[in-house]
């Protein structure tokens, strides 16, 4: 079973829409969780860390569900510039120095 | 704003040749990483480096690969005898001690 699994998409949404992605992880002892954004042929960039209580940053909201072992990302009022691939990243408790990446969910925001 | 830099941006090499990919992490960072991303696939962890030694490596990071921090600023990844399947983007990342990793722009390696 893969450490981190994501729906590859693509999610095609109109501007202004709300869209949500989920990511499941296999290791219940996972410690830290992140959402990164990757534009085509560019490096990953941190979008937000995901905290146990959930957290919000502007139009972006991240949630963690430890019981079901998934994290989610909600994007409200989508902009054209949100078009990218969103990567779920997990850091296991047993290894602080190793990070597992999901294969990413592609988002296309259309005018 | 400080950033991770990588050189070269694109490296073309013949199969069997050695390549060295270079990274300059952010100056006060303590943890360093190499990742690779084959075109169209996910980012894969290769190795992490802390306190001048490898702290973790993946199954991909076999004897063909080595890392060094030769002078306190550069962080290099060497591939001793490249194979066609080593063609990928290689990303360097660094982290000070908190959670966030900062990635460099990557080196595209093409093995012919």
Q: Test B106 with A44 for CB contact under 8 angstroms.
A: no
| Cβ within 8 Å, pair A46-B105 | no
Q: What is the pLDDT of residue A98?
A: 82
Residues of chain A neighbouring B100 (CB-CB closer than 8 A): 34, 46, 49
pLDDT at B64: 95
Task: Quote the pLDDT of residue B72.
Answer: 78
Per-residue confidence (pLDDT) for residue B54, from 0 to 100: 94
- For chain A, the average pLDDT equals 91
pLDDT at B71: 84
A21-60 per-position pLDDT tens digit: 999 998 877 778 999 999 998 999 999 999 888 899 999 9
Torsion of CA B3, A22, A71, B47, to 10 degrees: -40
Buried-state track B40-74, b at ≥16 Cβ within 10 A, e below 16: eebbbbbbbbbeeeebbbbeebeeebebebeeeee
Cβ pair A104:B50 closer than 8 A: no
Cβ–Cβ gap A102/B42 under 8 Å: yes
Task: Kindly give, in sequence order, each residue whose CB lies less than 8 Å from that of residue B103, ignoring residues fewer than 6 positions away.
Answer: A43, A44, A45, B4, B35, B91, B92, B93
Is pLDDT of B90 > 90? yes
A95 pLDDT higher than 90: no
- Residue B29: per-residue pLDDT: 92
- Residue ranges of A 60-79 with Cβ closer than 8 A to chain B: none
- pLDDT value of position A94: 65
pLDDT tens digits along B25-69: 999 899 999 999 999 899 999 999 998 899 999 999 999 999 999
Show residues of chain A in contact with B99, CB under 8 Å: 32, 34, 49, 91
Q: How many CB pairs under 8 A join A and B?
A: 47
B3 has a chain A CB within 8 A of its CB: no
| A4, closest residue in chain B (CA to CA) | B42
CB contact under 8 A, A103 and B55: no
Is residue B89 within 8 Å of B36, Cβ to Cβ? yes
Residues of A in contact with B44 (CB under 8 A): 101
Confidence band (pLDDT; 50, 70, 90) for B110?
A: very high
Contact A44 B44 (CB under 8 A): no
Cβ atoms of B89 and B29 within 8 Å: the answer is no
């Amino acid at each position: 079973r893969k450490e981190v699994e994501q729906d590859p998409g693509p999610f095609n949404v109109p501007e202004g829409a709300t869209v949500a992605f989920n990511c499941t992880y296999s290791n219940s002892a996972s410690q830290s969780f992140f959402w990164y954004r990757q534009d085509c042929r560019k490096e990953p960039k941190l979008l937000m860390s995901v905290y146990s209580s959930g957290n919000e940053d502007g139009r972006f909201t991240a949630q963690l569900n430890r019981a079901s072992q998934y994290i989610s990302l909600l994007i409200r009022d989508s902009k054209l510039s949100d078009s990218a691939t969103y990567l779920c990243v997990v850091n296991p408790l047993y290894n602080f120095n190793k990070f597992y990446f999901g294969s990413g969910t592609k988002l296309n925001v259309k005018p | 704003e400080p950033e991770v830099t990588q050189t070269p941006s694109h490296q073309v090499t013949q199969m069997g040749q050695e390549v060295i990919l270079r990274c300059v992490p952010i100056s006060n960072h303590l943890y360093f990483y190499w990742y690779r991303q084959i075109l169209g696939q996910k980012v894969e962890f290769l190795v992490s480096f802390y306190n001048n030694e490898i702290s973790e490596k993946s199954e991909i990071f076999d004897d063909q690969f080595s890392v060094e921090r030769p002078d306190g600023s550069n962080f290099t990844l060497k591939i001793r005898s490249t194979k066609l399947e080593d063609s990928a983007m290689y990303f360097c990342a660094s982290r000070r001690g908190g959670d966030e990793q900062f990635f460099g722009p990557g080196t595209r390696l093409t093995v012919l």
